[in-house]
Structures are given as C-alpha cells and as structure tokens.
Amino acid sequence: MKRRWVSLGLSLLGPVSALLISAILGAFVMLAIGKNPLQVYAVMISYNLGQLDSIGSIFYRATPLIFSGLAVAIGFKAGLFNIGVEGQYYLGAFFASWAGVYIKGLPAYIHLPLVILFGIAGGVIWAWLPIYLKVKRGAHEVITTIMMNSIASAVMLYFIHDVFMDQNQGTLGAPRVRMPPIQPTARMPTMLGFLHAIGIDMPNYVAINWFLVLAVLAAVAVYYVLWRTPFGYELRAVGQNPQAAEAAGINTKRIQYQAFLLSGAIAGLVGLSDLLTYFGYLDIDFPKGYGFSGIAVALLANNNPFGIILSSLLFGFLERGGLGIQALAGVPREVTTILEGVVILTVVTVTAIIGRQVRAYERHMAAIATAAEPPVDTRAPGGGQ
Amino acid sequence: MAKTPLLTLTGITKRFPGVVANRDITLSIERGEIHAIVGENGAGKSTLMRIIAGLYQPDEGQIVLDGRRIQMRGPRDAARLGIGMVHQHFMLIPRFTVAENIVLGEEHARGGVFSPREAQERIRRLAAQYQFELDPAELVENLSVGAQQRVELLKVLYRGASIIILDEPTAVLVPHEVEELFANLRSLRQAGKTIIFISHKLDEVLEIADRITVLRAGQVIGTVPASQATKEQLAEMMVGRPVLFHLEKPPVKLGGPPIGVLEARDLTVLGAHRREAVSGVSFVVRQGEILGVAGVEGNGQTELVEAIMGLRPVAKGKVILLGRDITGQPPSTIRNSGVAFIPEDRHRQGLVLPMSVWENAILGYHRASAYRRGIFYDLGRVKDRVRNLIRTYDVRTPDINGRVETLSGGNQQKLIVAKEMSSAPTAIVASQPTRGLDVGATEFVWQQLLQARAQGLAILLVSADLEEVLALSDRVIVMYRGRIVTEFVPGTLAATTIGEYMLGTRRDTPAAVGGENA
Amino acid sequence: MHPDLILAAGASSPAIADAVASAIRLTTPLLLAALGAVFTERGGVVNIGLEGMMIFGAFWSAWGAYTYGPLAGLAIGAVAGAIMSLVHAIVSVTFRVDQIVSGVAINTLAYGLVRVASQALFHSATTSPSVPSLTRIDVPLLDRIPALQPLMANLSPLIVFAFALVPVSWWVLNRTVFGLRLRSVGENPLAADTLGINVALMRYAGVLISGLLAGLAGGYLAVEQTSMYVEGMTAGRGFVALAAMIFGNWTPVGAMLASLLFGLADSLSIRVTIPHVPYQFVNSLPYILTIVVLAGAVGHARAPAADGVPYERSGE
C-alpha cells in the first residue's frame, strides 16, 4: 500500500512543481509589464472561484480540452504523436455541421447522436492519411499531421465560404462567413435546467452542456479501454517496447493504426460542444487552438485520463482567469498562453528528471538485493558428480 | 638475460553488482610480444582488457607500466600512456571516410580548417608505414569487415599507441581476412609494438601469439609459451575438468513413439551485413526430447531462434511444426500454435520494463478468455493467477503491482520462464535461459525444462554454456559459423573434443551430421 | 490572393520572370530555416520548434526594426530565435527530454510570448505597425538585361545573403573541424565521445545555429517581405522547411533545391488558377507537396544515424 502512495506522490510531483515554476515565471512576466504578481493572482482566483458564472464557464471551457487531451494521450500511449487533433476537430465540426443542417426530418433523439457520429467520422477521416503513411512508408507523423492541419484550414474555408455559405442571413451589412444554422433537433441542450433543478442557479449565458458529461464518460471509457482490455494492453505494450510486443505476438503495425484512428475519432468530438450548444452554426471564426492545448493538457496529466480531466479544468481556469485579469487588473490575457507553454516545458523536464532518478534508485536497490544472493561463480557444476 | 616486462598487473580484482568479474589477477606482458588472453564467455577477459585500456578502474590491485605505477581515469589517460584498444564492436562512422574516422578528435588542423585531402595524405603515409592496405578516401560503410578493422587499428596507431589491445578481433573475420590481420600484426610487432589480444579461437591463437594466458571464472589459470602449448592443453585449461552430469532426469511419459514436433529443413537465414548467419541447418526435435544447440555466441544461434519464432525472415528452407509449414508466419501464429519462447535478451524481447510485474506475467497470453469477463479484464482473476504463477515458480517480488524493472535479473527471467511454461505449449524454444542467473534460479529453470520434457514437450535449448547444454540435452548439435558441425549424445564425447568443434578446429562431414535427422 | 494569371505555354517572358522572382522571394525564409535545420539535425537533434523560433524572430525583428532600424531588427530577430533554441537545447540535450515534445512546447511558448509582447509593446496582440525594410539592392550588370529585370533588381539583401549562405554552410559542414565533429555527433555519438569530443557542446552549437537562422527567417518575413509583423505570418513555414531539409537529404544544396521547389509551389499557388479547382486547394499546394515528399522521400533519403536520439553515456 505504501508503494501506491509513494508512486502517486511521485507522479504528482512533476505537475505540481511545474505549476509552481510556471507561476513564478508568470510572475516575472507580470513584473516586466509593471504589474504586481500577487495582486494579479489574487484577482484571478477571486474572479474564477468567487462567481458562479466563472465556475460554470471553467467547466464549459474544459469540455473540448478533455476530448483533445484524451485524443493526444491515446496517441502518446501508443508511441505516436498526434499533433493533428487541430485539423481533425475542424473536419469533425464540419461533418457534424453538415449533418445538422442538411439531414432533415429526424427526431432529436436520432438526429443528435447521428450528428455526433458524423463528427467522429470527420476526425477519423482526417487522421487516416498520416497514420497510413507512417505505417506503410515510415513518414513521421508529426510533420504530416501538422500539414494536415494547414490543409484542413483551407478545406474549411472552401466549404464554408464557397459551398455551404448561408445565403439567407437577411441581416443588414456584410453577411457572416458561416454555414446555415443547425436544426434544433441536432442541438445539444445545456445543463442549466438540470443544475437549476438541483439548486444551482447558473446564469443563462453560461453554455455548460451535456458534452461535459460525455467528456467525463469518455475519460472513464479511455481508462477502462487502456488498462482493462486486451486492446489497450497491446497498445501500451507497443508504445513502451515494440520489440517485446512483437516477440509476444502483437501486431504492432495494426495496433498503431487502430490507436491513431481512435485518437482521431475522439478528436472529432472536440469542437462539438462549442458548435452544437453555443454557436449553433459553423463559422469561419470557429475557435482554434484546442488541438495544441490538448497536447499541453495531456502532458501535464502524464497521459492519464483522470488527470486529463483535472488538467483541462486547470487550463479552463487559466483561460477564464485571463479574462478576469485583463478586465480587472489590466494584464493581457495572453499571459495565460505563456503559462501554458511554460507549463509544458517544466512538466516534461521535471518528469524526465524525476523519472530517471526514481528508476536509478530502484535499480540500485534491486542490485543490492541481487548481490545478497549467492554469486554466480561459486556454482557447483550440474548437481555434483 | 631477463628483461623487465613492459606491463605488469598485480592482484587485479573487479566486482560488479552480484558478480566478481576479475579475481586477484596477476600477469605480465613483455615488450614487443604478441600476448593472447583466452577463455570462455564470462571468464572475465573483456573486463580485464577494459581495465588495461583505462575504461574501468580496478577495485583492488595495481598496474605497472615500464616500471612506473599508473592509474588511469579514462581512455584518454590510457591513450596518453600509449595504450589503445580496438573493440569487438567497431566504433566507426559508416558515412565518413577512412581518413575522417581516424583523425576525428585529433585533426591537427590549422585555424579550424579541415582539408580532407591533407588528412587522407597523412593517413596514406601512416598506412604505408605499417604496410596496411587501405584507401583513405573510401567510405567506411563500403569496406569489408577486415578493412574496417584495419581502420580501427590505424586509429590507435595514429594516436601513438605502443600497446595495442584487440578484443576478439577474429570473431567477425573470414579466414583470408584473418591471414591479412595476422600479417599486419606481425609487421606491427616488428615495428616494436606490443599486442594483447583476447580470443577463444585456439588454432588462431597458437598461430599468432608468443605467449598465452588462460582465464577461467575471473582467475588466471596459467601462462604458457605458444611454442610449448597444445590445443588439448589449452582447451582443458579453458573448460575445466571434464564434467560428467548425472542430473536426475524425470522419465518421459508418452502415449506412443515420439513424433517430430519442431523441424528445421535446410534453413538459411541472413544476418548482419547481409551475410548468411545460418546456412543449411536441419534438425528435428521430438516429443519428450531436449535438443541442445551448443556453440560460442555469434555463430548464428540468435538468427536461428529468431527465424523459428517468426521474428526474422527465412531466406531459404523451411520451419515445420507438427507437420505444418510455419516458415515466415507472424510470431502470433507461431505462438498460438503452441510454441513458447524464452528470448535471450529479456530486456529487449522478453519484458516491457515500465509495465508492472503482473502485466508482464501475461505478456503474450494477454488475450486469453480466462482472464476476461466480456471485453474487460477481470483483474481479480488475473492477479490471482499471477500470484499462483509466481508462487509456483518462486519468483521473488514484493508486490506484483510494482514495475518489473525493479526485479532482479534472475527473478525477471524466472517470470518469463514461468509464464511461457504455464501456457501448456507443445514446444519450447529457449535461448540462453539461465544467463545471468544465480545458482538457485539456474537449477530451478533446469528443473522446469526437465519437467516439461517429462510431459512430452519438445524443447530446443540454445546456450553458450556448455555445462548446461550437456546436463540437460538428450542430443546436442554444435553450431559454428552458421552450420551444424557435429551431433552427439552427451557423455559420448570428451569435453576437449567438443571444444574443438565449437572452436572450428574440427568438423564432421555434412553427410555424417545430416544422417541423424532423417 | 490574386488569381490573375494563367500560366500556359507561350506566356509572356516578363510574367515568367515575375513568377520566378516571386518564387525566389518566397523561397528565402524557407531556405534560411531549412539551412538551420540541416545544422541541428546533422548534429543529431530534431528541431520541431523551428516554427516557434521563426515566430519569435519575426516579432522581435519587427520590434527591432521599428525601434532601431532594419539591420538592427534583423539581428535582434536572429538572436531572439537563438534564445528560443537555447531553451530547446537545454531541455532536449541536457535534460534529454523527448526532442519532439520539446519542440512542440517551444512552439506553444513562442506563440504566447509573442502575443503578450506584442500587446505590451504595440498595443495589439496580432499586428505591429509598419516597419522599415532594408534598402533594396540590384545585382550589378545582370540587372541591365530586361528579361531578367524582375529577378535581379530590387532585391532584398537578405535574399542574396540566404543564397550565399548555401556554399558557406557546405564549407562549414565539410571543410572545418567543427563541421566534421558536428556530423560525427549526429552519426555516432558514442564513437565521437570515445574520441574525446564533447557531444553536448556540439549539439548545442547545431541547435543554436538553427535558432539563429530560423529567427532570421522570421525576420525576413516581417521586415523584408511584408514590412510588418502579423500573427500567423509564418503559416507553417517552419514545418515546410523541415520537409525541405528531408527532401534535400540533409545537405545545404539539397535544402536549397527543395526550398526552391516549395517556393515555386508557393508562388504558383497565389498566381495560378486551375480550372475547376478551388483556390484554397491551390493555396494548400506547399502543404500537400510536403506530405507527398515525406511519403516518397523516406527510404531514399538518409537521416544522420543518431538523429533524434538523446545521447546518454552509459555507466559501467
């Protein structure tokens, strides 16, 4: 039992020290622009936790990050870098939007799930080419996925502006570059009614919705798949020692393929919370950057699904806090973006260092235990003669 | 008239966790001689050489060079004292030229400018000085292995070495390259250099060396002048007293006459540098039989095992399991057909080190429905079985949830053996199954193999440990340079004779070898 | 984006020269970054953070040019890129963190830092005011030929510098002791280590060179090409430069030829319309080309043998 606590403590050491270091570095940045860090952090905390709408907003912002973090983490666990979550979620949002606008006549309990499936399909389709090229031709998936991200932007622009742009916007002035509104049967309801029923009076403008629940369920599901199924076992083995996996009869290429497509599938869900609850239509200014934030979220949580929920909340906290400190303390909200980058670097560095120390210590202890056993060279040959 | 020796080692002892690699070694090397150090794998030769080359520091004892006691903290100290080492695994950069490889680090360039032509000219002169055949402008990756070795030799000569250590230099050479090497060594000796080399190939050692020192189990057994030594004498010093084994072998229980289970037919497998690592190997392993593959490591055993398990492509020939051709099938098919595998490198192929003990205990059998309820693992059931397993096979671990890399090597190997044996296979391929294990673990593994044999399994045992092979096997084949050179039943051949087969100085005709397997 | 020309056989000569001139201008930042990538990867360190270093360089050179003039601006941009790369070197060489993760983190960090700095210094998170550029130069003699006019006249000196850097890079890599040792460290760090070469120092040098050049590449974009900093102006060029390096087989000349190819694709993508193909896809030509290159190039191209592997001297 003690081992469990020790190893839990060690695994938290990385993220916690990273956060501390980031807070300190962020303080330097604030000082550089003439602000008092303590005051700024105080404002951030009171703004975030002292208001109900902030808390709700944090959960809302965390929702896409949970999906993104899970997508990235699955890739990491299999030894793959899915930097393409960004493009995969654009395509997911587009497919979902199309299904939400143009498939008519379905009741909500069929339409909404169908739209979600379209979103998943979009992510899978966009993830296919990089993993195919990696498995067949050894093309490094980092660069190919990043290229796919750029191409995705172009594709989105084409479809939204040239093909599906809403011509019936009827407002004065220049029409927005967006697709037609998604039908009500495909919209995801907010959790406001539910929260109200249990006594939480969340203001109407907070879009906290049932995708949050879906995200948490997805995290639980990912945990169970990775650690409680043969598929997840093979995935982790391939990520940690492909040669031993191969010798044990695991088909490493097929596992990599499947893992990456699964990652793409979850990536397809990233944009749906914003699309189906808040916006209701796919706009050229659809939120960007969830893909990269997902990398930060996954690294901070060391690719653990439950940790990803926590780190997503943290990043949601930071982003919300950014608004607060900008409005109330005059600090540009981009400071929180810097904190994200610093967090990634410190986490991976500290984790690498700690990991090596722990392993060296454990090996040292094991070597001593071995030396306590009789040494090899005094062995009597073959049981005597 | 006595000359003071150039190099004297006194009481050198070197320990690693769990093993004493060199024990109280005392020997002296004369100036201008070619001195060979021979012994089996694990006798401590490489460790001793690394101490002389400054890579390791001895725990006890002292080294005296030219009358002065020396202490070296690293290879650069050794280089300054004129000691250079040519490693068994070359430290060369394939994409660089010969000249670039040699001058790297000691470019003697003015103003930081490097002129390949000038470097090549310098190397050309150096090579001519020692009569080495080398083109300094050639890329190392295009060179034959023998030529690459000459580059390594020139590297140490370029840095002014007067004592040159060579670690198993002929291990990777074909016969005519060996002749070239020896010619080079003789001309180096003529130039006043002192050469120490490690080998286990007695014929070659007798041909080139002036004196020979034999190591066994970390100690010096003796030093003899080559002119007075014989192969038999050396083999006996290397291997020790002839060992007769009377392990209690439980009787084999079979339903009928033993059928052939695992068969190799004219198997040819390619290895490094696209050379044939296995050439036309054929054998049959029957039910209730242990077929031992003896031989010094590096004679194709690794490639043979990998080809059988589907981890390496087969160039020619077939692998047959219970009458079915499994040549080139993926490892999963071969394992699922009932072949268990104990790999020679447990860290690379046997275990996933960051995973826990229990997760490693099901590696390769992780899809078994017995472990699952539906699509999910029933962890309770899995861990119960794992606990049973480690109890039965005496794997010592404080916690099955801990990472497997914290287990001692012995317990790691026991875990692998346990999981492979308990899968009720029809055949077992075991490669170096007791490497690095202590007495208790070794005997336990042997008992397991014998019990499997008693239950009618067919076992292919590959091991560089001759004692082990002779103790366990019903029949033994010896591999040398990818071919089977003899087959015999333990107890019918003297250890020295076996040694000769292993060292390439004796071989049976192919017909005599193949006949047993018809 | 002006799809105003359709290139077909028999297009007028100035139009071709124009397109080529534009290609050369678009090649320059790619070339600088790709040359930098050659240095870091020949030393064995993968630098995915090239994009972030370009962004950093673009912004700081804009600020430098705004405050002190174009030359100072470019120098500051290069140094800014080098500072970013120093972080990458510390994390991936000294702490042996996975080089790809470190690179991705650098990109995120650069993006955030630049936004904050831009807001603080220019009061706009996404753009700077317009900044002065270097005086344009003309190639003597060749600019008298009318057909070559667009190519040889009115060039940014940085373009000449970038192309001149190609033979210089080749010389440094193949004719200096530094280059020899750098390459050895990327091929077989263990062998280099046994010969007394400081592997970490060499790798740091390679990474810093890539940072300098990537920063300069960003500086070109901001100071010379558009005369201002705009967020997103790098548009993935850092990654395209990596692909150019791979396609160019990790050599300076190869990187130049590959960068020219990408630059040409870039130039065509804004000048050409292909019937029935939406312009967005034509604009994506460089990215599609990168994927094609990576899919085909691997297997023919050969990376330095120890590229991407952190070096750890194993104890006895």
- What is the rounded end-to-end Cα distance, in angstroms, of chain C? 62
Angle at B347 between CA A355 and CA B471, to 5 degrees: 145
Mean pLDDT, rounded, of chain B: 86
Contacts of A151 in chain C (CB under 8 A): 284, 287-288
Rounded to an integer, what is the distance from CA C55 to the centroid of its chain?
11
Q: What is the pLDDT of residue A374?
A: 37
Lowest mean pLDDT among B11-20, B160-169, B320-329, C69-78: B11-20
Using the beta-carbon criterion (under 8 Å), do C108 and A337 form an inter-chain contact?
yes
Contacts of A79 in chain B (CB under 8 A): none
Give C134 or A47, the one with higher predicted confidence. Answer: A47
Please report all neighbours of A, defined by 3+ CB atom pairs within 8 A: B, C
Question: In the numeric block, which tokens belong to residue B293?
Answer: 């593959």
| Inter-chain Cβ pairs, chain B and chain C, closer than 8 A | 55
Mutation target for C interface from A132, A150, A163, A342: give the one with most C CBs within 10 A.
A150
3-state secondary structure B21-34: EEEEEEEEECCCCE
Q: What is the pLDDT of residue B401?
A: 85
Give C4 or B12, the one with higher predicted confidence. Answer: B12
Q: CA C193 to CA B183: how far, in whole Å?
A: 31
Q: CA B90 to CA B88: how far, in whole Å?
A: 6
Tens digit of each residue's pLDDT (9 = 90 or more) over A156-204: 988 888 888 887 777 777 778 888 899 999 999 988 888 888 888 888 8
Q: Which residue has the tokens 């490690």?
A: B198
Q: pLDDT grade, residue B517 (50/70/90)?
A: very low
Q: What's the gap in Å between the CA of B105 and the closest CA on chain C?
A: 6
Q: What is the pLDDT of residue C275?
A: 75
Lowest mean pLDDT among A276-285, B3-12, B124-133, B157-166: B3-12
Q: What is the pLDDT of residue C20?
A: 83
DSSP H helix total and E strand total for chain A: 15, 0
Chain A: residue whose CA lies nearest to C99: A348
Q: What is the pLDDT of residue A377?
A: 30
Using the beta-carbon criterion (under 8 Å), do B56 and C316 form an inter-chain contact?
yes
CATH 3.40.50.300 boundaries in chain B: 7-239, 242-338+425-518
Lowest mean pLDDT among A154-163, A214-223, B117-126, B286-295: A154-163
Inform me whether the pLDDT recorded for B441 exceeds 80. Answer: no
Angle at A21 between CA A86 and CA A310, to 5 degrees: 50
Using the beta-carbon criterion (under 8 Å), do C180 and B115 form an inter-chain contact?
no
Give residues with Cβ within 8 angstroms of A87, minimum separation 6.
A126, A145, A148, A149, A150, A151, A152, A153, A291
Tens digit of each residue's pLDDT (9 = 90 or more) over B379-397: 999 999 999 998 888 887 8
Contacts of A360 in chain B (CB under 8 A): none
Structurally, at CATH architecture level, domain C13-130+155-297 sits in Orthogonal Bundle (1.10)
Q: By the CB < 8 Å criterion, does C72 face chain B?
A: no
Q: Give the start-to-end residue ranges of the domains of chain C.
A: 13-130+155-297
Q: By the CB < 8 Å criterion, does A285 face chain C?
A: no
Q: By the CB < 8 Å criterion, does B18 face chain A?
A: yes
Which is the CATH superfamily of the domain at B242-338+425-518?
Answer: P-loop containing nucleotide triphosphate hydrolases (3.40.50.300)
Please check whether residue A263 is in contact with residue B346, taking contact to mean a CB–CB distance below 8 angstroms: no
Contacts of A224 in chain B (CB under 8 A): 376
Using the beta-carbon criterion (under 8 Å), do A363 and B363 form an inter-chain contact?
no
Contacts of A376 in chain B (CB under 8 A): 18-19, 436-439
Question: Tens of pLDDT along chain C (316 residues)?
Answer: 333 334 443 355 667 777 888 889 999 999 999 999 999 999 999 998 999 999 999 999 999 998 898 889 999 999 999 999 999 999 999 998 888 888 888 988 898 888 878 877 888 777 777 777 777 776 666 666 666 666 676 778 889 899 999 999 999 999 999 999 999 999 999 889 888 889 999 999 999 999 999 999 999 999 888 888 988 888 889 988 988 898 888 999 999 999 999 898 888 877 777 777 777 777 788 788 888 888 876 555 567 877 777 776 653 3
Q: By the CB < 8 Å criterion, does B447 face chain A?
A: no
* Across B449-457, average pLDDT: 92
Give B347 or B246, the one with higher predicted confidence. Answer: B347
Compare CB distances from A157 to C120, C280, C290 and report the shortest one's residue.
Answer: C280
- What is the rounded end-to-end Cα distance, in angstroms, of chain A? 47
Q: What's the gap in Å between the CA of C53 and the closest CA on chain A?
A: 14
Q: By the CB < 8 Å criterion, does B359 face chain A?
A: yes
Q: By the CB < 8 Å criterion, does B407 face chain A?
A: yes
* Across B114-137, average pLDDT: 91
Of A47-51, A263-267, B204-208, the range with the highest mean pLDDT is: A263-267
Closest by alpha carbon to C307, among C79, C118, C38?
C38
Contacts of A363 in chain B (CB under 8 A): 405-406
Q: What is the pLDDT of residue C201?
A: 95
Give residues with Cβ within 8 angstroms of B94, minimum separation 6.
B139, B140, B141, C187, C305
Rounded to an integer, what is the distance from CA A58 to the centroid of its chain?
15
Please check whether residue C177 is in contact with residue B114, taking contact to mean a CB–CB distance below 8 angstroms: yes
Q: What is the pLDDT of residue C291?
A: 87
Q: Is A241 helix (H, G, I), strand (E, B) or coil?
A: coil
Query: Domains in chain A, ordered, with CATH?
Result: 34-331 (1.10.3470)
Q: CA A313 to CA C63: how far, in whole Å?
A: 35
Q: What is the pLDDT of residue B516?
A: 41
Burial-class residue B88 by CB neighbours within 10 Å (0-12, 13-18, 19+). middle
Q: By the CB < 8 Å criterion, does C180 face chain B?
A: yes
Q: By the CB < 8 Å criterion, does C101 face chain B?
A: no
Q: What's the gap in Å between the CA of A77 and the closest CA on chain B?
A: 12
Inform me whether the pLDDT recorded for B404 exceeds 60. Answer: yes
Give residues with Cβ within 8 angstroms of A251, minimum separation 6.
B330, B332
Please check whether residue B214 is in contact with residue B38, taking contact to mean a CB–CB distance below 8 angstroms: yes
Please check whether residue A279 is in contact with residue A101, taking contact to mean a CB–CB distance below 8 angstroms: no
3-state secondary structure B245-263: CCCCCCCCCCCCCCCEEEE
Q: CA A75 to CA C163: how far, in whole Å?
A: 40
Contacts of A17 in chain C (CB under 8 A): none
Mutation target for A interface from B306, B326, B408: give the one with most A CBs within 10 A.
B408
CA-to-CA separations, B316 to A9, B305, B311, B418, in angstroms, rounded: 55, 15, 15, 33
What are the two backbone dihedrals, phi and then psi, of residue B287, each rounded to the nearest 5 degrees? Answer: -60, 145
Contacts of B470 in chain A (CB under 8 A): 382
Using the beta-carbon criterion (under 8 Å), do A137 and C298 form an inter-chain contact?
yes
Q: By the CB < 8 Å criterion, does B109 face chain C?
A: yes
Compare CB distances from C101 to A149, A299, A332 and report the shortest one's residue.
Answer: A299
Q: Which helix (H) or strand (E) holds C239?
A: helix C237-247
Q: What is the pLDDT of residue A61?
A: 93
Tens digit of each residue's pLDDT (9 = 90 or more) over B259-301: 889 999 999 999 877 889 999 999 999 999 999 999 877 789 9
Angle at A294 between CA A291 and CA A299, to 5 degrees: 140
Give B168 or C139, the one with higher predicted confidence. Answer: B168
Q: What is the pLDDT of residue B377?
A: 92
Q: What is the pLDDT of residue A118?
A: 96
Inform me whether the pLDDT recorded for A8 exceeds 90. Answer: no
Bridge partner residues of B20 (DSSP): B15
Q: What is the pLDDT of residue C269?
A: 78
Using the beta-carbon criterion (under 8 Å), do B349 and A244 form an inter-chain contact?
yes
Closest by alpha carbon to A85, among A36, A140, A149?
A149
| Highest CATH level, class, for B7-239 | alpha beta
